[in-house]
Structure 1
Amino acid sequence: MPIRIRQHVNPLARKFQSPIAIPDWQEIYQTGARPIHLDIGCGRGRFLLNLAQQNPEVNYLGIEIRRQLVDLANQERDHLGLTNLHYLFGNMNSSAKILLESLPENRLKTISIQFPDPWFKKKHNKRRVVQPELVTLLVDYLGSGGEIFLQSDIKEVAVEMRDRFAANSNLIQQHPDWLETNPLNVATERELYVLGQNLPVYRVLLAKSTT
């Protein structure tokens, strides 16, 4: 019988408030002295799976709030024998600080947040992943010159994400308008679906100042 996996979960529920279980990074990654790409809300992890195979010189880390997806993603990683990829179960809005503090210093070089749950009802907006407190922590721990890539097919969500990150004085938007193409050159499953429907995707790339 197929495993039933929920499409949406409430990140404010009590069961998602426990801190992320931090592994020993030296045991996780074959080579620790590499830049780290953090993907928040990685879903089934296929996006990172492709990137990790294309870029063995980068360590990839996916965070996902649905444990079953994390378990399945790590199984697929093991099947392929990838040593530069790991998936963690957890809620970034309750565990960002403990996770970011645990990462090797100055190794966090790229962050991506792609097609997060939109939570359309105004009373549910507080469930959206990109909250001001998370923005501050991510920018603080991002290495100098590091990049943050955001995308959504919901313009309201994309604008909110962009504006919250752009409000941080340490970040510089790398283009005046929405990006036409994905600069990472690997599409998520949601991105492929949206583009296949000939619908727009709203993308933005920001970089941390080097001064």
Structure 2
Amino acid sequence: MAIVRVREHVNPLSKKYQVPISPPDWQKIYAVPSQSLHLDIGSGKGRFLLEMAQQRPDWNFLGLEIREPLVDQANGWCREMGLSNLYYLFCNVNNSLSSILHSIPAGALRQVTIQFPDPWFKRKHQKRRVVQPEIVAELADALCTNGMVLIQSDVEEVAVEMRDRFDAHPAFIRHPENWLDTNPLPVPTEREVSTLKRGEPVYRAVFIKLPDPQLNRQE
């Protein structure tokens, strides 16, 4: 597999990325569009989903990534491997996630991962971080009951901010309450592997989507 070299960071607020995308026709993307869907926000080179899709052929996988060359490369790998349950989409999550989520078959979204997002350390740049309150609210609306969100970062400040924003939304409950010692998924990301090899910590948390209380009211 040839590797494409691209810039490590892309400013999602730049003019180039301000036009929302139109979601594709999922009937043409996936062999079985009704399968449970795992959404990876910020899929990078795409190797995490590439391995997940092979291990779980009964699930569909969707990677969202703002660096278009990485999306083209990853979709090329999919075609080479004949994977019909995996697709990568070039987009700016901050303005395209809502339309993407609304286009997905109802009830299909069961897992979301946000792993090692760009930290944007400078205070004036922190509005570029992917996990904003609006993103959390959109995921709360789209995720099925008991669906899971996994967040990971090797930067404690970023992990705490992501954790606190999901904690603040009434649709989610953190389980367990503390940082996770191990990854609940069967495939680690490349960044996770390299971080742990250096003996450095990874901050992980899992959130579960609560039932909608309006659906459980006794009439």
Determine if the TM-score, normalized by the shorter chain, exceeds 0.5: yes
The aligned counterpart of 1:45 is: 46
The aligned counterpart of 1:108 is: 109
Residue 30 (str. 1) matches residue 26 (str. 2): no
Q: How far apart are the structure 1 equivalents of 2:24 and 2:111? A: 20
For structure 1, the residue ranges without an aligned partner over 5 or more in a row are none
Q: CA RMSD in A?
A: 1.2
**Is residue 192–residue 202 contact of structure 2 (8 Å, CA) maintained in 1?**
yes
Q: How far apart are the structure 1 equivalents of 2:43 and 2:175? A: 24
Task: Give the secondary-structure state (helix, strand or coil) at the position aligned to 2:149.
Answer: strand
Measure how far apart 1:185 and its partner are. 1.8
Measure how far apart 1:3 and its partner are. 4.7
Task: Give the secondary-structure state (helix, strand or coil) at the position aligned to 1:32.
Answer: coil
Task: Give the secondary-structure state (helix, strand or coil) at the position aligned to 1:200.
Answer: coil
TM-score normalized with structure 1 length: 0.97
Measure how far apart 1:206 and its partner are. 0.5
The aligned counterpart of 1:167 is: 168
Q: How far apart are the structure 2 equivalents of 1:42 and 1:176? A: 26
The aligned counterpart of 1:125 is: 126
Cα deviations by residue, 1:24-52 (Å, 9 ceiling, x for unpaired): 10010001111100000000100000000
**Is residue 65–residue 71 contact of structure 2 (8 Å, CA) maintained in 1?**
yes
Identity %: 54
Q: How far apart are the structure 1 equivalents of 2:5 and 2:26? A: 31
TM-score normalized with structure 2 length: 0.94
Task: Give the secondary-structure state (helix, strand or coil) at the position aligned to 1:148.
Answer: strand
Q: How far apart are the structure 2 equivalents of 1:182 and 1:190? A: 13
Task: Count matched residues.
Answer: 211
The residue identity in structure 1 corresponding to 2:104 is: L
Residue 147 (str. 1) matches residue 114 (str. 2): no
The residue identity in structure 1 corresponding to 2:72 is: D
The aligned counterpart of 2:193 is: 192
The residue identity in structure 1 corresponding to 2:106 is: E
Q: How far apart are the structure 1 equivalents of 2:189 and 2:90? A: 19
Task: Give the secondary-structure state (helix, strand or coil) at the position aligned to 2:71.
Answer: helix
Structure 1 runs of 4+ aligned residues shifted over 2 Å read none
